[in-house]
Amino acid sequence: MRQPSATAVPPVPPPPTVRVPARRPASGPTGGGQRFRGDIQGLRAVAVLSVLGFHAGLPFMSGGFVGVDVFFVISGFLITGLIDREIGRTGRLQLGRFWARRIRRLLPATAVVLAAVGVMTLLVLPVTRWSSVAWDIATSALYVVNWRLADQSVNYLATDDAPSPVQHFWSLAVEEQFYIVWPLIILLVLWLQRRYRLPLTKAMLTGIAAIGVPSLIWSIVLTQTSPGPAYFVSTTRLWELAIGGALAILAHRIPRIPSGWAHVLGVAGLAAIVLAVVTFDEATPFPGVAALLPTLGTAAVIAAGTIGRRTVSDLVLDTSVMRDIGTLSYSLYLWHWPLLIGAAVMWGDDGGDLPVAIAVTVVGFSVVPAWLTHRIVEAPIHEAKVFVRLPGWAAVLGVGCTAIGVAAALVVATAVPKAPVHTAGDAPGAAVLDEDPADDPDGRPVDSVEFLSPDVLDAPDDVAALDGELCISDIEGTDLEGCSYGPGDAEVTVALVGDSKMHQWLTAFQRIADEHGWRIITYLKSACPLATVDIEFEGEANRDCSEYNEARYERLRDRESIDYVVTSQVASQAYLGPDGSRGAQTDAMVEDLGRVWAGLEEAGRQVIVLVDNPNPEADVMECVAEHGDELSDCAFPRDEGAARGGAPAQLAALENADGVSSVDVNDYICPGDTCPAVIGNVLLYRRGSHLTATYVASLTPRLDDALLAAMR
């Protein structure tokens, strides 16, 4: 079908311009002119190669994620420099032309990749991921996916989700939000500057500082208190773009730096980036203070290049190979991650991890679609003269590109099959097992079943609840919140305490409480077992958990109405810092559990430990979705599963815990040496190592008997 001509649809009028007094444009060497900066193109190459190496799992690039921060500084410098040049040349800033340039530079390639991700999702990814990926594609097309990922990073129901094929769009979302807000802020600064007759450079730097300084402070604070959201939200990253912006404003002063010092500055800046790439890792609190190393390093390299002469750092950066990689950096960044996610599904191990050799090969192959996208889509549209003459058409282009991404999301969402409704048959789950389940054939792995309850499409939402309430605190936060259920004057009050592995039993405990007239109260927090030692989360001590545990432990000791404390957990190790050995961390957890349980027993609470269930290495739910007629492929060895969870630490602590009872119903979860995915037509696992609420409900009689036997 032919494309409409430029006269077929009236051009969308650009936003109004704001006029300011013109000033002399900066000269070429300052970075304020039009001189091509090969060193910046080389910096782009450094940034994208760092990210690619990190995602490929190269051990010497464990901090390669800082490549994104290099991009942020570059973007702040270039975009602010572009705006500064326009103001200096014309005395005004045309928002329409500015946004038109951004649209034609960025959105066409993203539309292509998002459409391709939609196709890949339907062809490669398990059907259990389709709905979530559809939302990810939609929010990526609208450039707000970073806020979705920030929310998921602390959401109990999303913590076990597999990585999204568009997860890397979070950084693009941050930049797009910057491109929308930044020129508006500059217009405000210019209006104030004109109204109060301030020096323009001083006014611009003040405006940048007003945004960048609070953002840096917030980045440091949030990285310490809420590391998950801190990584993704825009407010913790604005200061990085502001560094580049300030550098662009000051560019006309930088040529005064002696060339000798410029050489030192360039080498030091490049060394700082490399140091971050090779020494940082996923345990590094980030962004926060740590992000100063790569961002200031990037600023130093850019500043060194403004003298207009080649520096030592140019020997690495301003070469034909690095410039070529830098030219493809945007498309490379867009393509490499979806290809890695698809490859992980096809060739990854049980945990979804790719061998490094395969990952490197996939990343290398991403050059092909990246080059094609750049040559066929990115460059031609960016250079098309029609968008220069008629900037309003860029708005049409932007709407079209966004629509392509949203349409891809809708196609994926509508392709999700509806879970079948079973009108006949029965799903007894654990009730099908004999008293001695080890020899019961109904507990052995099977290849197929007539139907599943819950269906794999419903399994993610088959979550335990207490009287309809989720009753578990998110990973972040310290407020001691909980639920209560049952009569206030009950003779027996049971406190359910621990992390998500205790939470998964709420459905059964509600039924047991109804049977016996018990009162249930909960003190549950995701990723936070009952302990007094630090617990690891995302490579560092979970301070929110530690503070929450102080209040939780005190409440359990002081609340005299509590008769029994039933606790479980998935964690088997304390956090002793980055240098703590696995053995030492396990020993610390075992010792601490014994100490905590003894303290509760001294306070008059009987402690009952619910032994953690075997933890599969792979996602059983996704495996079942892919192997509907070969369900035995989703089984796993019981001893390996037990070693992955909290059971080893619990059992070791119980050996010397006088008076502490235990409940172990794992024989009805994994009857033999091999743990099945399905028992009695019921799917056992919903996400990660968590049991479905349906299977837990079927375990109610077994759990009831074991609890009564453990109580004294």
Give residue 308's pLDDT. 72
Proportion of the chain above pLDDT 70, given as a percent? 93
Query: From the CB of residue 126, how many other CB atoms can be counted at a distance below 10 Å?
Result: 17
Q: Given this model, what pLDDT does residue 663 score? A: 97
Of 57, 623, 49, 106, nearest to 340 (Cα)?
Answer: 57
Give the closest residue to 706 by CA, choosing from 667, 651, 658. Answer: 667
Give residue for tokens 């892919």.
626
The per-residue pLDDT for 13 is 34
Measured at the CA of 668, the angle between CA 667 and CA 672, to 5 degrees, comes to 50
Architecture of domain 429-710: 3-Layer(aba) Sandwich (3.40)
Helix or strand holding residue 524 (H, E)? strand 519-524
What is the crossing angle of helices 356-365 and 320-347, to 10°?
120
The answer to whether the beta carbons of residues 301 and 39 sit under 8 Å apart is: yes
| Res. 352: pLDDT tops 80 | no
pLDDT computed for residue 283 by the predictor: 83
Say how far apart CA 405 and CA 399 lie, in whole Å: 10
Q: Which residues pair with 690 in a beta bridge?
A: 687
What is the pLDDT, as a whole number, of residue 353? 85
What average pLDDT does the chain have?
90
CA distance 9 to 659: 81
pLDDT value of residue 425: 60
Q: Are 54 and 336 in contact (CB under 8 A)?
A: no
Q: Nearest to residue 492, comparing CAs of 518, 521, 531? A: 518
- Rounded mean pLDDT, 96-121: 93
* Residue 244 pLDDT > 70: yes
Q: Does pLDDT of 171 surpass 80?
A: yes
Measured CA to CA, the distance from residue 45 to residue 523 in angstroms comes to 49
Q: What confidence category does residue 212 fall into, taking pLDDT thresholds of 50, 70 and 90? A: very high
Residue 10 has pLDDT above 60, yes or no: no
Sorted by sequence, the CB contacts under 8 Å of residue 383 that are 6+ apart come out as none
Is the CA virtual torsion 256, 258, 259, 265 positive or negative? negative
Q: Greater confidence, 147 or 2? A: 147
Name beta bridge partners: 661: 608
- Pairing of the two strands 484-485 and 17-19: unpaired
Could you please report the per-residue DSSP string of 635-662? -EEHHHHHHHSSHHHHHHHHTT-TT-EE
What does the alpha-carbon distance between residue 87 and residue 81 come to, in Å, rounded to a whole number? 10
Categorize the per-residue pLDDT at 20 as very low, low, confident or very high, splitting at 50, 70 and 90.
very low
Instruction: Residue 337: name the closest of 122, 108, 56, 106 by CA.
Output: 56
pLDDT at 34: 52
Of 28-37, 278-287, 448-457, 529-538, the one with minimum mean pLDDT is: 28-37
Report DSSP letters for 656-708, one per residue.
T-TT-EEE--GGGTS-SSEE-SEETTEE-EEETTEEPHHHHHHTHHHHHHHHH
Q: Which of the listed ranges 15-24, 328-337, 348-357 does the model predict with the highest average pLDDT?
A: 328-337
Q: Which residues contact 532 (CB under 8 A, 6 or more apart)?
A: 549, 550, 553, 592, 595, 596
**Mean pLDDT value across residues 691-704:** 97
566 membership: H or E segment, kind and range: strand 564-568
Query: Does 533 have pLDDT greater than 70?
Result: yes
Question: What confidence tens digit (pLDDT) does each residue in 466-500 have?
Answer: 999 999 998 888 999 889 999 999 999 999 999 99
Q: Is the pLDDT of residue 632 over 50?
A: yes
Lowest average pLDDT, out of 8-22, 26-40, 438-452, goes to 8-22
pLDDT of residue 22: 39
Give the range among 12-16, 508-512, 518-522 with minimum mean pLDDT.
12-16
Burial of 193 from C-beta contacts in 10 A (0-12 / 13-18 / 19+): buried
Statement: residue 566 has pLDDT above 60: yes
Query: CA 495, CA 513: separation in Å to the nearest integer?
Result: 12
Residue 462 vs residue 389, higher pLDDT:
462
Whether 30 shows a pLDDT value over 80: the answer reads no
pLDDT at 94: 82
Q: How confident is the model at residue 159 (pLDDT cuts 50, 70, 90)?
A: low
Distance in angstroms (rounded) separating the CA atoms of residues 625 and 131:
14
Candidates 113, 90, 652, 557; CA nearest to 337 is 113
Domain assignments of the chain as residue spans, ordered by start: 26-415, 429-710
Q: What angle do CA 442, 444, 448 make, to 5 degrees?
A: 85
Residue 461: closest CA among 690, 676, 681, 614: 690
- Identify the CA nearest to 132 among candidates 103, 155, 113: 155
Residues 256-269: tens digit of each pLDDT: 778 888 899 999 99
Which residue, chain included where needed, has tokens 């619910």?
Answer: 610
Q: Which two tokens stand for residue 122?
A: 């339907």
* In the predicted structure, residue 26 carries a pLDDT above the cut 60: no
Contacts of 167 by beta carbon, 8 Å cutoff, 6+ apart: 136, 145, 149, 337
Split at pLDDT 50, 70, 90, the class of 195 is confident
Spell 375-408 as b/e; 16+ CB within 10 A means b. Answer: eebbbebbeeeebeebbbbbbbbbeebbebbbbb
Which of 81-95, 348-362, 533-547 comes out lowest in average pLDDT?
81-95
Q: What's the rounded mean pLDDT across residues 172-177?
A: 95
Q: Which neighbouring-strand residues pair with 566?
A: 496, 608
What pLDDT digit, counting tens, does each position of 392-437 carry?
A: 888 899 999 999 999 999 999 999 998 776 554 678 999 999 999 9
Closest CA to 522 of 460, 461, 465, 598: 465
Query: At residue 646, does pLDDT exceed 60?
Result: yes
Average pLDDT over residues 665-682: 96
Q: What is the pLDDT of residue 580?
A: 85
pLDDT at site 421: 67
Least confident range of 225-229, 396-400, 638-642: 225-229
Per DSSP, helices labelled H in 416-505 are 500-503
Instruction: Give the C-alpha separation, 73 to 305, whole Å.
Output: 14
Report the alpha-carbon distance of residue 494 to residue 484 in Å, rounded.
10
Predicted pLDDT at 699: 97
Which segment of 77-81, 368-372, 373-377, 626-630 scores lowest on mean pLDDT?
626-630
pLDDT-derived band at 84, boundaries 50, 70, 90: confident
Residue 483, SS3 per DSSP: coil
How far is it, in rounded angstroms, from Cα 436 to Cα 677?
Answer: 19
